[in-house]
Amino acid sequence: MLEETIAAVMAALNRHKVPFIFFGMQAINIHLGRERRETFGTEDSDFLFDLAISAPTDILKILKMMSFPEPVFVVWKEPGRSITVFDGWKWKSPRLSGAGTFSICTPEGYYHLDLAFGDTGIPFQEVWKKSVRIRYFGVPIRLAHKDHLLEMKRYAGREKDHQLLVRLKLDERSGKARRGMRGK
C-alpha cells in the first residue's frame, strides 16, 4: 500500500527537519472534502520543497537512508530528462538540476508520491506562512492554503488545471457551484 510509503517518507523528512508543504490536486481535495464539496480524481500526492533550504541532493540522501515498507522505484524528472535513481535494488547518484521532481512509485500501482522542487508562482515562504497543520496518513505535515493551491494551478497554465478552475468557480452570491458545473 503506497499510503505506508507516503507516511514513511514524510516521517523521515520530519525527522531530518526538512520543511515541505502538501500541495497539488490531492491537497485541494482535502480542502474540498472539509467543505463537503465534490472532490476530483488524482494520481499522486505532491509535496513542495524550497530550493533555498533543501536541494534535491539533500532529499536523495534521506531517501537512500530509508527502508521502504514496500517495493518501490524512484525516478527523478526534470525538463528534458527522466532518470531512474532507484530501481528497487540499487541506488544511483546522478547529477540533479535544481528544478525537478522525485516520483516514488510501486511496481503494481499507478498512484505515486511526488517530491517537487521548482517555481509554483508563489514564494515558498509565503505559502508556508498561510499553510495549516494537518495529519496525513497519521504524520503531521503542512497543507497549503486553498487560495494558494488555486493560484498555483493558474500559474501552471496546463489545460487540465484550467478545466479544474472552471469547475470550481462559485457563484459569489450563493456560494454554490455554478449551474452546469457540478458532477462533470
- Which stretches in the chain have pLDDT values below 70? 170-184
All structural domains of the chain with their residue ranges: 2-168
Residue 164 pLDDT:
85
For strands 139-143 and 20-23, give the pairing: parallel
Number of H-type helices and E-type strands within the chain: 6, 8
Give the CA distances from residue 19 to residues 47, 60, 71, 127, in Å, rounded to whole numbers and listed in that order.
10, 15, 26, 12
As a CATH number, domain 2-168 is: 3.30.460
Chain CA centroid to CA 8, Å: 15
Cα–Cα distances in angstroms (integers) from residue 60 to residues 9, 16, 115, 173, in the given order: 11, 12, 10, 48
Contact (CB, 8 A) for 95 and 78? no
Q: What is the pTM of this model?
A: 0.88
